[in-house]
Structure formats: C-alpha cells, structure tokens
Copies of this chain bind each other. A is one copy, B any other.
Amino acid sequence: MLNNPYYSQDQHGPYKFYELGDFHLESGEILKNTQLAYAVHGSLNEAKDNAILFTIMFSGTSKNMEHYIGPGKALDPDKYCIILPNQLGAGLSTSPHNIDGAQAMSKFPEISIADDVIAQHKLLTEFFGIKELQLVTGWSMGAQQTYEWAIRYPDMVKRAAPIAGTAKCTAHDSLYVDVFSEALKSDPEWKGGEYSKPNACRVGLKRLAHVFALMGLCTEFYKKEQWQKIGFDSMQSMLSGFWEAWFQPMDPNALLVQAKKWQKGDSSKHADGNLELALKRIQAKTYVIAFEQDMFIPIEDCKNEQQYISDSELKIIPSFMGHFAMLGLFEEDFAAINGLYSELLSNDVS
C-alpha cells in the first residue's frame, strides 16, 4: 500500500465509506473488500424522494464538485439530499494504491462505468432506501455515469443532466485517452505500474498535465490570455500552478484505471450496441449540456446523442474555459450551469 497523502479526509473530506464487500465486476473479476467513498450534503426527507446524485469526473473527487452545492444554489442541501459517490479505483474508493495483495497496483482489475453505477445503485437503494432520484448529473466521466444511470435504471431517474460527456466514448476521445495515458506511462519510473513511491512518476504526470492543458481549454483562452482572469500572470505560471499542480499529487495507476473506464464507456450495451435504441430507453427529462469550445467533447458529439433522447434539450454554454468550464473558475460559467440545474429542477416531471 502506498501512503499517498493526497487521497485523504484532510484533502477531500468529509467523506464516508459504504462497504460493498466482494464486488462482482462486469469483467467477471471480483474486487475484494470494496469500499465506495461518498459525500453527502443535506438530508433525506421521510419519503426519501429528495435525492440528487452527482457523479464524478476523471481525476476528480467529490470535493471538487462541492462548489455547486449550498444554500441558495440550485443544488440546495436545505431542500435536497445530494450524494456524491467517488469512482471506484479513483483514489478515495478502493483503488490500486490503497490496498495490499493480489489486486494492488498494476494488478488492479479493470473497472467499467457500469460497475460504478451498479455500486452507486447499491448504496442508494440498499443503504439509503432511495427509490427515485430528482436528478442525476455529472461532468465528463460523470456524464458517462449519468447516461448509464438513465439508461440502466430509467424508472428511477426523473431528471438527468449529463455535462460535456457522452453515453459512448467517441473514437477521437479514445485517442485522447491513449495520448495522455502514453504521456503518463512514458515516465522512466513507471515500471509497468509498480513504481516504488507515491510521487515517483512526477515527470509522466507533468507530461499528462500538459496534454490536458492543450485540449482542456481552447485556443481563444490562450489567445485572449484568460489565465489572467483566474489569477495567473503567464501561460507558464498557469501550466505549473494549475495543470501540473492538479495532476502531480495523484496516483498514476488510479488515473489509468479511470482512463480505461472512460475509453471503454459504452451504454449502448443496453441495446446490443445500438446507441440510438439505448438512448431511447431514457425516461428522464434530460438537459444535455455542452461547452461551446470543448476540444474533446465538442458540441457535435453531445448533439449526436441528445437527438435520440425523447424528452431532452441541448443546452450550449459558451466559455473560453472549454471542457473545464465545469470547474466554475469563471463566475459566469458557474452561473450558467447553476441556472440550468435550477431550470431543470423546476420542471415538473411525472
């Protein structure tokens, strides 16, 4: 077990654990003593019908989405019980670096988006006793989970807001995942995933960070020197102070478990590979939210799926932050997303 201080209550808490025990994965493997780390804001009402599920993106934790939650915001904990489950394998839940034995490090099993959603379903139904969700939402890999929820459990999801993500990973996105994964694994200390210390692969993590800098924002962000708007005085200082600082404390195996999950994400499985039919299973009132300048989840990819969802609207948010508009570093991005949450939640649904 590598003691990586990044994945701690101190950094990302408070979060709790739900014990899934020996958890059967889609691959056929069993993940031993599986723990699902999750955060909760607000309380379930007596009818248990005020729950919102907020799923988490690549490299993120429940902590990173907390800015959407608070009194007076759309996701108001005085009204809703908002549950944020951390991805399996992503650092807080059972992950390559935080276990010992036959499944540790490079031997950690492959996890799928469906595995996460099934684990989350167990938490929500078996532990909380929830039967319906007012909203399922998530950004990027969180959108993948959102789609999987709305397609797998259509009766349970009243509203859905997948943000800058797809039900089926696109070919270009798959290539993107390959490129940043290769960048990470190019570290001389990588050693096939059996590095010796939590921070052994800082060179590879830095290279990965730069690929994200390249694709995560947009050309106009750089041309208009928008780094100034978020407190950096140069592109270089944002590269180190934001992108490298974001990724370098993380566990390489955890990132690669998520990367594979992202790449293989495919909710069309629910209709034998027919994406259109799978999306038609969705009963939720759905806002498909895209960021206008997103370089790896462009509007077209979101629109391509939204067209098949019966009760859906495509909502486009312009932002020079591109894919990373979701972080809400620009106040107007937060306001736009919060506004859409508010609008969607105000929709009466049967």
Contact = CB atoms under 8 A, between A and B. Distances in A.
A179 B223 contact: no
Interface in A180-232: 182-183, 186, 188, 207, 210-211, 213-215, 218-223, 225
A301 interface: yes
Given A186-B186, A235-B175, A304 B223 contact: yes
- Give the interface size bracket for A toward B: 20 to 34
Q: State how many copies of this chain the complex holds.
A: 2
A296 B214 CA distance: 10
Nearest to A207: B182
A315 B235 CA distance: 30
A219 B188 contact: no
Most buried by B among A172, A178, A182, A222: A172
Contacts of A46: none
Contacts of A214: 172, 175-176, 179, 215
B170 A182 contact: no
Nearest to A235: B171
A57 B239 CA distance: 28
A298 interface: yes
Contacts of A176: 214
A222 B207 CA distance: 24
Contacts of A215: 214
Contacts of A182: 183, 207, 210
A272 interface: no
Contacts of A124: none
B207 A175 contact: no
Given A186-B186, A188-B188, A295-B295, A171 B223 contact: yes
Given A175-B235, A178-B210, A182-B207, 10 more contacts: A170-B219, A171-B223, A172-B214, A172-B223, A173-B219, A175-B213, A182-B183, A211-B211, A214-B215, A219-B296
